Chain A
Amino acid sequence: MASSFGTALVIGASSGIGEAIVRQLVAEGTTVAAVARRGELLERLAAECGDKVRPYVHDVKDYAATPGLFDTIVSDLGQLDLLIYNSGVMPRVEEGEYNFAKDREMMEVNVLGAMAWINPCAAYMEARRAGTIVGISSVAGDRGRRGNPGYHTSKAALTTYLEAMRNRLSRYGVTVATVKPGPVDTPMTTGLKLPLLIKVEEAAAGAIAAARGGAVHGYVPAVWGPIMLVIRHIPSVVFRRTNI
């Protein structure tokens, strides 16, 4: 397992966990290609981190552009050791609201964007017989909770996709890690009352540690491991009566 990564590609890098991941990787000496939709935030991050960060403005829903941009980034970096897919959205969904537009947005950003990026990367790393792929999923993918069906579905899909990629790629020496943070203090969660809320730096450190260890269930913080073990085993007939 790599103790540090020479080069990395972080998608969803302009704020929140992604931004913190970029800063921590740079501090370790990694050269990072930072991909995000919001160019001004990205430029500011790049300016602060010096030439270790290369900004690429891109909307993860622009699937047609993804493979070409992936090729460009690999060519710019020389080689790619680590990909972290961090992009994610969680629009508020009210009690009694059934909103396809929001569901679709979550599937497009949280799942299809991940597939669009990870597919060319998986082919690249399978051929190279080396590399690490990390997806930032969520504890939310472990159960279908009542609050935001679309979000839970998208993270469950991402978790399963990452598991399948791990099963496909491990025989070729490629590591696939799944990171499942609990609530993190990011723009996504501003204003929500959430348990065990952690700072983005802590989530980012957890993600990088999960990348090194090839985590299958990279709960961050680790206490979510036993909690989710219990929650995953609550029978559905009981679970639906709770307010979890």
Chain B
Amino acid sequence: MSPSIVEFPRRVFSGYGFSSRSVSAFATPRSTDEVRALFTQAAREGVRVALRGSGRSYGDAAMNGGELVADMTGMNRLLAWDPATGVAEVEPGYTVQDLWRSTLGDGWWPGVVPGTMFPTLGGCAAMNIHGKNHYRMGGIGDQILEFDLVTPRGELYTVSRLEHPELFHAVISGFGMLGTITRLKLKLKRIHGGRLKVRQLPARSLQEQFALFEQHEGSSDYLVSWVDCISGGAGLGRGQVHVARYTAEGEDPDGKALLDPARQDLPGTMLGVPRSLVGTVLKMFAFNFGMRMVNLGKYLASTASPTSEYLQGHVAFHFLLDYIPTWRAAYEPEGFIQYQPFVPREHAREVFSQLLRLNQARGLVSYLGVLKRYRPDEFLLSHALDGYSLAMDFPVTRSNREALWKMCGEMTEIVLAAGGRFYPAKDSVLRPEDFRRAWGQERVSRFQALRRAMDPDQLLRTEWAARVGVE
């Protein structure tokens, strides 16, 4: 007789920010049939199931304490790849890294990638992740052509914009609560070289940051800005904008050669520090004054560096942090939370100024800020809107947890009053009323109705969903 779920191996799971932890049984299904069998067993034993990919969500979106975690990384095959059309068919545990390594040599790059290449594509779809180009390409959902969905009761739907369009738009952005994707078909972007043309432009204030975004959003393929969240006064929100564009055919003489994945990997040192030690070095500065100095140093370097275009590999541009696996050590032992509000364009500057001033007044400052630009997209619970996001990393300590959560509550109030939204992959603090206000009662009701239809037994559960009131 096969073991019951209570006898399954257990693991302590945490989010990528490792600021909360819980124990779950876990299983790694390797096929659609195994997924179905796992759902059936869980339903029979009254255990609820969370779907988890690489565990790159910062908070509790792939955690399920006391219940079962289905680790989807076991379904990680490339099912089909057509280098003529740039269409890939993959299982949900296939990662962003797996994908670009398979396609780059043929001259194709995923149209949307997050800031790390380790997430699974199933997880990316569930969260409708974005990259540094949402304002041009939308989220990953906009790159997806079709997928197979297995519901908790074991039914299989093949879903696209034409077949079951309502499901298509709700499963993408539905944070894994309507069933599990078992096959995913997506279209990649044709590129002519392994490098991007990049410019780094210093911004002396938040106002300048927005001015640079507006100036470049029509003529760039990627826009992202680093924000110093610690400097105040006239330098509030200062930083450095990175503007990048694809090269045209023949523009980069070495472009073709650099389509070789082996030539995309990064060197072993960063600014003279071996990559394996970067976390240790950062940890020495992991207090407010130390981080003020790090941010100041980075800002001064940005004002001194040339603003002319240079060539940078796709991987280095998108996934720099992946090559410094130790960077999170700076936040040990209690971890950190990321707080990333999405605010409509017309209110973004004012809201972000208010948030930064609030952080500084409370002495709870973000060690790193990242500003990005979005357009609205077609997905039901998408975080994207015509506006901007400011991602902030707050260290959690034993003594600041309560004050930090309280401040996040105040920030959420400001963001919601401006019509803002949030992102399940990053969130650690939202409450049910925040969730309803962020997406509006109409969208939330539509999602809940779909959830009742697809998962009437409420088999699927994550700590994030439970926290925001999606039962």
Q: What residues of chain A have their CB less than 8 Å away from a CB belonging to chain B?
A: 64, 67-68, 71, 119-120, 123-124, 126-127, 129, 171
Q: Is the interface of A mostly helix, strand, loop or mixed?
A: helix
A126 engages B12 (CB within 8 Å)? yes
Given the interface contacts A123-B12, A126-B12, does A71 sit within 8 Å of B22 by beta carbon? Answer: no
Q: Does B10 contact A (CB under 8 A)?
A: yes
- Smallest CB gap from A69: residue in B: B6
Q: Does B23 contact A (CB under 8 A)?
A: yes
Q: Which residues of A contact B4 (CB under 8 A)?
A: 64, 68
A119 engages B10 (CB within 8 Å)? yes
What is the bound-complex CA distance between A171 and B21, given in angstroms?
14
Q: Which residues of B contact A123 (CB under 8 A)?
A: 10-12, 23
B22 engages A127 (CB within 8 Å)? yes
Q: Does B290 contact A (CB under 8 A)?
A: no
Q: Does B92 contact A (CB under 8 A)?
A: no
18 new A-B contacts, CB < 8 A, other than A64-B3, A68-B7, A127-B21, are: A67-B6, A67-B7, A67-B10, A68-B6, A71-B6, A71-B66, A119-B10, A120-B10, A120-B23, A123-B11, A123-B12, A123-B23, A126-B12, A126-B21, A126-B23, A127-B12, A127-B22, A127-B23
What is the bound-complex CA distance between A123 and B21, given in angstroms?
10
Q: Does B456 contact A (CB under 8 A)?
A: no
Q: Does B65 contact A (CB under 8 A)?
A: yes
- Smallest CB gap from A126: residue in B: B12
Q: What are 19 A-B contacts defined by CB distance under 8 Å? A: A64-B3, A64-B4, A64-B7, A67-B7, A67-B10, A68-B7, A71-B6, A120-B10, A120-B23, A123-B10, A123-B12, A123-B23, A126-B12, A126-B23, A127-B12, A127-B21, A127-B23, A129-B21, A171-B333
Q: Which residues of B contact A64 (CB under 8 A)?
A: 3-4, 7
Q: Which residues of A contact B7 (CB under 8 A)?
A: 64, 67-68
A127 engages B6 (CB within 8 Å)? no
A127 engages B333 (CB within 8 Å)? no
- Smallest CB gap from A122: residue in B: B12
Q: Which residues of B contact A129 (CB under 8 A)?
A: 21
Encoded as 1 (CB less than 8 Å from any A CB) or 0, chain B from 10 to 38 comes to 11100000000111000000000000000
Shortest Cβ distance from A164 into chain B, in angstroms? Answer: 16
Shortest Cβ distance from B46 into chain A, in angstroms? Answer: 12
Shortest Cβ distance from B349 into chain A, in angstroms? Answer: 40
What is the bound-complex CA distance between A127 and B65, given in angstroms?
10
Q: Which residues of B contact A124 (CB under 8 A)?
A: 23
Shortest Cβ distance from A60 into chain B, in angstroms? Answer: 15
Which 9 residue pairs are nearest across A and B when measured between Cβ atoms? A127-B21, A68-B6, A123-B23, A123-B10, A127-B12, A126-B12, A127-B23, A67-B6, A64-B7
What is the bound-complex CA distance between A124 and B21, given in angstroms?
10
What is the bound-complex CA distance between A120 and B24, given in angstroms?
10
- Smallest CB gap from B65: residue in A: A127
Q: Which residues of B contact A119 (CB under 8 A)?
A: 10
Q: Which residues of B contact A67 (CB under 8 A)?
A: 6-7, 10
Shortest Cβ distance from A13 into chain B, in angstroms? Answer: 22
What is the bound-complex CA distance between A171 and B7, given in angstroms?
27
Shortest Cβ distance from B71 into chain A, in angstroms? Answer: 15
What is the bound-complex CA distance between A127 and B23, given in angstroms?
7
What is the bound-complex CA distance between A126 and B4, given in angstroms?
23
Shortest Cβ distance from B402 into chain A, in angstroms? Answer: 16
What is the bound-complex CA distance between A171 and B65, given in angstroms?
21
Residue among A68, A71, A119, A127 with most chain B CB within 10 A: A127
What is the bound-complex CA distance between A123 and B11, given in angstroms?
6
What is the bound-complex CA distance between A5 and B375, given in angstroms?
56
Shortest Cβ distance from A113 into chain B, in angstroms? Answer: 15
- Smallest CB gap from A71: residue in B: B6
B333-347 residues with Cβ-Cβ distance < 8 A to A are 333
Q: Which residues of A contact B10 (CB under 8 A)?
A: 67, 119-120, 123
- Smallest CB gap from A67: residue in B: B6
Q: Which residues of A contact B66 (CB under 8 A)?
A: 71
What is the bound-complex CA distance between A87 and B11, given in angstroms?
25
Q: Which residues of B contact A71 (CB under 8 A)?
A: 6, 66
What is the bound-complex CA distance between A119 and B4, given in angstroms?
17
Shortest Cβ distance from B309 into chain A, in angstroms? Answer: 46
- Smallest CB gap from A63: residue in B: B7
What is the bound-complex CA distance between A68 and B12, given in angstroms?
17
Encoded as 1 (CB less than 8 Å from any A CB) or 0, chain B from 189 to 224 comes to 000000000000000000000000000000000000
Shortest Cβ distance from B59 into chain A, in angstroms? Answer: 15
What is the bound-complex CA distance between A135 and B5, given in angstroms?
27
Q: Which residues of A contact B11 (CB under 8 A)?
A: 123
Shortest Cβ distance from B64 into chain A, in angstroms? Answer: 12
Shortest Cβ distance from A41 into chain B, in angstroms? Answer: 27
- Smallest CB gap from B333: residue in A: A171
What is the bound-complex CA distance between A171 and B334, given in angstroms?
11
Q: Which residues of B contact A68 (CB under 8 A)?
A: 4, 6-7
B46-71 residues with Cβ-Cβ distance < 8 A to A are 65-66
Q: Which residues of B contact A127 (CB under 8 A)?
A: 12, 21-23, 65
Shortest Cβ distance from B17 into chain A, in angstroms? Answer: 15
Shortest Cβ distance from B13 into chain A, in angstroms? Answer: 8
B138-192 residues with Cβ-Cβ distance < 8 A to A are none
- Smallest CB gap from B7: residue in A: A64
Shortest Cβ distance from B401 into chain A, in angstroms? Answer: 12
What is the bound-complex CA distance between A171 and B6, given in angstroms?
27
Residue among A123, A126, A129 with most chain B CB within 10 A: A123
What is the bound-complex CA distance between A169 and B143, given in angstroms?
43
Shortest Cβ distance from B12 into chain A, in angstroms? Answer: 5
